Structures are given as C-alpha cells and as structure tokens.
C-alpha cells in the first residue's frame, strides 16, 4: 500500500479497504495542513477544515473521476471548505506565509518561503531587515488581498498547480485563471509597496 498512488488508494477505499483512506490522510496531512493554515490564518481552524475536507472526500469518493489526479481534487475541496470557514467567520484573516514551502526545509537548508516564490517586480526589503521582519511585512501585504485573490495565489505559488489544473478544479475558464492570478500578483505588489512605504515612514 505504501507504494500505491493516491488514485489507487482511493479506488481501494471505494472497494471497502478502510486502511487505504487512513493512508491518504497520513500522506497529505502535513502539506494540506500548511496550505489550510495559510488560507484561514489559524492552525486550530485549519485542523477543523482539514477534517471537513476529508469528510467530504469520504462522502464524494464514489463520484471521483479515476482519470483525474486525486491531489488537485483534494486541495480544491479543502480550499472550498477553507473559503466557507473564512466567510462564516465574517472577517479577513492574516495568513502565515513564512513557513518553508518544502516539508522540513528552512532557509538554512535550501527551503523557500512563500514570498521567495513570488516572481513579481517589487522593491527588495532593506538588507539589514531580518527574516522575521520581512515575513511580517509580507504577511500584512497578503492580508490586504481579497479571499479570492489570496486563494489563487496559494494554489498557484504554494501548491504549484498549473493554470490548466486550477481552471479544471475551480471550474473556471483558463482565461479567468490567468486574469485573476495577474490581478492577485498586481494587488500583492501594490500592497507590498504600501507596507514598505509605511515602514520607511515610521
């Protein structure tokens, strides 16, 4: 079972193999939880949303198209649950984007934080600024984005889904994905400039 693909594990679960579902949960726990923590801005809430996402996977397992990949489907379900959570809470949240993207990797061993992946033309922070200050600035900038723009940034830059995968999983046209991501990056750039300006003037 350890070497089975996600799709094979889900197929086995659909045939009554309960441990296969546990394997799916364990396999995606760390990465999905980091994604949800960034999306909803709260570790405990992310744990709750994580459970809701896999409950939905259980409920919808028989409707999964085996010709598609499981992971984008899972993350789309989780993103939808996270968006519902944020909407119900009724206010915007900060997201923790300073943690390494690659599991177990930090700056010392080559890991990249979310901001390191943002290939956008924004002014570099002062070299004297330490990592914590830089991460706090980026967090404030991202928190200025709408939930929709924040979500597509996370899917594209953190989860590294392609345009086509995002379009497929969110059921929106490819052109909409590109324009929305462009808007998200532009919004982040403007927010970053505002945050940076505020820091210089303080």
Question: pTM of this prediction?
Answer: 0.59
Closest among 35, 27, 52 to 152, alpha carbons compared: 35
**142 is written with which tokens?**
């991202």
Indicate the pLDDT class of residue 20, thresholds 50, 70 and 90.
Answer: very high
pLDDT in tens, 121-178: 444 555 556 666 776 777 778 778 888 888 888 788 767 778 888 888 778 898 998 8
Q: Do residues 82 and 33 make contact, with C-beta atoms less than 8 angstroms apart?
A: no
Among 127, 144, 121, 150, smallest CA distance to 194 is for: 144
pLDDT tens-place string over residues 153-169: 878 876 777 888 888 87
Q: How confident is residue 62, by pLDDT bands cut at 50, 70 and 90?
A: very high
Residue 128: phi, psi to the nearest 5?
-80, -10
Q: Is 82 left (phi over 0), alpha (psi -120 to 50) or beta?
A: alpha
CB 135 within 8 A of CB 113: yes
HSE on the CB side for 108, CA within 13 Å? Answer: 1
Show the domains of the chain with their CATH numbers.
Answer: 1-93 (1.10.1740.10), 99-202 (1.10.10.10)
Whether 99 shows a pLDDT value over 80: the answer reads no
What per-residue confidence (pLDDT) applies to 172? Answer: 87
């Amino acid at each position: 079972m350890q070497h089975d693909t996600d799709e094979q594990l889900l197929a086995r679960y659909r045939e009554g193999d309960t441990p296969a579902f546990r394997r799916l949960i364990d396999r995606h726990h760390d990465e999905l939880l980091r994604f949800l923590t960034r999306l909803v801005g709260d570790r405990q809430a992310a744990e709750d949303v994580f459970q809701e996402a896999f409950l939905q996977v259980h409920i919808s397992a028989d409707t999964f198209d085996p010709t598609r990949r499981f992971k984008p489907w899972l993350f789309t379900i989780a993103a939808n649950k996270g968006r519902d959570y944020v909407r119900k809470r009724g206010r915007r949240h900060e997201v923790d984007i300073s943690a390494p993207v690659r599991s177990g990797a930090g700056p010392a061993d080559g890991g990249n934080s979310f901001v390191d992946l943002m290939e956008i033309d924004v002014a570099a922070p002062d070299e004297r600024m330490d990592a914590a200050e830089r991460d706090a600035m980026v967090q404030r900038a991202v928190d200025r984005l709408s939930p929709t723009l924040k979500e597509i940034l996370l899917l594209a830059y953190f989860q590294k889904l392609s345009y086509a995968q995002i379009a497929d999983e969110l059921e929106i046209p490819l052109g909409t994905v590109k324009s929305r991501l462009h808007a998200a990056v532009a919004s982040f750039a403007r927010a970053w400039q505002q945050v940076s300006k505020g820091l210089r003037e303080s």
